[in-house]
Structure 1
Amino acid sequence: VPKLVLKPGSTVALHCSSRNRFVRMNSDLKVDGTHRDFDDLPVDWSWERFTVVDGGSGQIALHNAKWNRFVVMDADGLRASSGKAASELPKEWTWERFTVVDAGNGEIALHNAAHNRFIDMSPEGDVKCSAPADVQNLAAGPGMRFRVFE
């Protein structure tokens, strides 16, 4: 059952239905998408699982325990942070914080205020930034919508 709220402390995977891919942090410490049906995520796949961390001010951060790193949005797309435990999110790290937006139909979008962009997945599985867009003006292209797998 898709969840709209990402509860701090929970472990989730994010699936882009239009691309049929899960967001993952790979061994190159890049963030991309791996092809897999929503209901078919193997229990032992750790690259696709993220701990939701309270980012303050209604924001969250996504931490991958396998690599002990946070998801970062920079000007070129998404990548892994330097090594940090989930409990060690620095207050000054703004590129790691996202606002969860209801995208309708049981899906969410994730907006980074520092870059004023949403997470966007291409058909090929590249996870990048959208064009600039205010958090309240979700255009929600197909690659910007995610279902939450718990």
Structure 2
Amino acid sequence: MQWTTLTATAVGTVLGVMATLAADHVRRRHDRSERDHDTLRTALLEYLTALSRAKDAFSRSELAPERVGAGHIAISEHGVYAAQHQLELVAPPSLLDKARRATLSVLDFHDVVVSGRTPDSGEYIHAWRVAGQARAALIEETRVTLRRI
């Protein structure tokens, strides 16, 4: 047998194996990226849902000055902290910062409501808007992050 034939066969085999390994690597990376994307999207959806439930519930809260500053208890009852902890496992720091700000803005809104501010008061309107702006900033950061993944 000629050495050139044997060498060409060996080189062809090595190149074929390398191409297969490279294709498998690219496919695994793509699959992992899709899983990461879906995991982050699910965690964000759960967090935003819990945050919205809490904000809506707080908007119907009654006057209770003794509950000012106790919003963290009320917000945990709506699963916000649990969803935020889940988000901390999968989200990048920039997104977590926006999520924390959104949580704090809803806590501030809670305090405004239970302190007796009515929906037509300036404090109520301001707290409502700040919470909405924090949520909008989180959603925008989410879009940017999901495009990068």
The TM-score, its normalising length taken from structure 1, stands at 0.24
Greater per-residue strand proportion: 1
More helix as a share of residues? 2
Structure number, greater radius of gyration: 2
TM-score, reference length from structure 2: 0.24
